[in-house]
């Protein structure tokens, strides 16, 4: 297991600072803090423009640990499915343009649930649409050499954000759609979503280096006060982060630890430089 003596393998998911800084500010801030990588969100890229984001990435030499996010495949009709797929093609294009190592997929749940009114309850149908959508997207992404990274979300998001909820389920999809394990399809292990899983170690091992495309860290607070916006800083919660990173590395993962914290009551309220300083310190002491 790698010793983290410096922050060479630290990445900041840009959602972590979305309330304080624009993407250009985040890039400038990370460079200033000696943080080598980021994982940008599409809306933050759109805000400053893809060309500006691309030139900032090139000029600063900052690395990317991923691009957030494609997915949201399920829909109520063919037009909706097609629109979702078209949007995913654009996400692949943008990821290629920015030089991301992968496109992260948050696959979607029951159509309409995120807006507060699910169009139906058939999660099996949504799951079938997800598998089909990834299959179609893979045809587009593979020749462009953009790996797709399925991110299983915590089961509490099954209705509204992602009906892929365990690493096992995500890897089953990988086995079906990319049986050769070509590197074109893999998973994100975000500890916030998967830490509770009694099969976590086994499924990380099963995934192996080729399918472990990203590793996201934050912490699970006990108590957690909000289903979406109450993630903790590494070390402030109950997740055995270092143990899980050890499992990742034993399976061959040697990439970034990407900090992704949505925290309405805490970290989104703090000065961005303080957040980055804390991320750096916790990366060394806890991750």
Task: Output the smallest distance, CB 196 to a second copy, in A.
Answer: 4
Nearer to a second copy, 219 or 260 (CB): 219
Choice from 13, 14, 88, 166 touching a second copy (CB under 8 A): 166
Task: Output the smallest distance, CB 189 to a second copy, in A.
Answer: 15
Q: Residue 64 phi/psi, 5° resolution?
A: -115, 140
Handedness of CA 183, 189, 190, 194 (dihedral sign): positive
Q: Which of residues 103-162 bind a second copy (CB under 8 A)?
A: 110, 113, 116, 118, 121-123, 127, 154-156, 158-160
With beta carbons less than 8 A apart as the criterion, state whether 133 and 84 touch: yes
Give the number of residues in contact with a second copy, rule: CB under 8 A.
31
If binding is defined by CB under 8 A, does position 238 make contact with a second copy? Answer: yes
Task: Output the smallest distance, CB 194 to a second copy, in A.
Answer: 9
Nearer to a second copy, 80 or 112 (CB): 112
Binding mask 198-237 for a second copy (x = CB under 8 A): x---------------------x-xxxx-x----------
Task: Output the smallest distance, CB 130 to a second copy, in A.
Answer: 11
Q: How far is CA 168 from CA 153, 173, 183, 198, 262, in A?
A: 12, 9, 17, 11, 25
Other CB atoms within a 10 A radius of the CB of residue 3 amount to: 6
Q: Which of residues 47-66 bind a second copy (CB under 8 A)?
A: none
What is the residue whose two structure tokens read 């099963």?
206
Nearer to a second copy, 144 or 242 (CB): 242
Task: Output the smallest distance, CB 116 to a second copy, in A.
Answer: 6
**Taking contact as CB under 8 A, which single stretch among the options 20-28, 164-172, 207-215, 256-264 is the one that binds a second copy?**
164-172
**List of residues contacting a second copy (CB under 8 A):** 110, 113, 116, 118, 121-123, 127, 154-156, 158-160, 163, 165-166, 169, 195-198, 220, 222-225, 227, 238-240
């Amino acid at each position: 297991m790698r010793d983290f003596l410096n922050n060479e393998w630290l990445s900041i998911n840009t959602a972590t600072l979305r309330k304080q800084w624009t993407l250009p500010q985040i890039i400038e801030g990370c460079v200033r803090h000696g943080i080598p990588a980021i994982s940008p969100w599409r809306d933050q890229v759109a805000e400053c423009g893809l060309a500006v984001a691309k030139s900032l990435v090139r000029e600063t030499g900052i690395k990317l640990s991923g691009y957030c996010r494609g997915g949201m495949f399920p829909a109520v009709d063919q037009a909706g499915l097609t629109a979702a797929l078209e949007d995913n093609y654009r996400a692949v294009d943008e990821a290629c343009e920015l030089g991301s190592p992968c496109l992260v997929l948050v696959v979607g749940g029951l159509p309409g649930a995120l807006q507060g009114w699910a169009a139906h309850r058939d999660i099996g149908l949504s799951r079938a649409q997800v598998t089909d959508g990834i299959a179609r997207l893979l045809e587009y992404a593979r020749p462009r050499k953009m790996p797709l990274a399925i991110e299983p979300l915590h089961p509490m998001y099954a209705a509204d954000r992602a009906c892929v909820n365990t690493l096992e389920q995500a890897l089953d999809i990988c086995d079906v759609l990319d049986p050769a394990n070509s590197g074109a399809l893999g998973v994100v292990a975000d500890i916030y979503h998967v830490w509770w899983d009694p099969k976590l170690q086994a499924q990380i091992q099963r995934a192996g280096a080729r399918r472990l495309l990203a590793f996201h860290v934050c912490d699970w607070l006990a108590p957690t006060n909000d289903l979406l916006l109450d993630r903790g800083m590494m070390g402030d919660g109950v997740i055995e982060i270092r143990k899980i990173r050890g499992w990742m590395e034993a399976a061959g993962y040697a990439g970034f630890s990407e900090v992704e914290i949505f925290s309405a009551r805490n970290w989104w309220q703090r000065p961005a430089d303080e957040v980055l300083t804390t991320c750096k310190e916790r990366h060394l002491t806890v991750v």
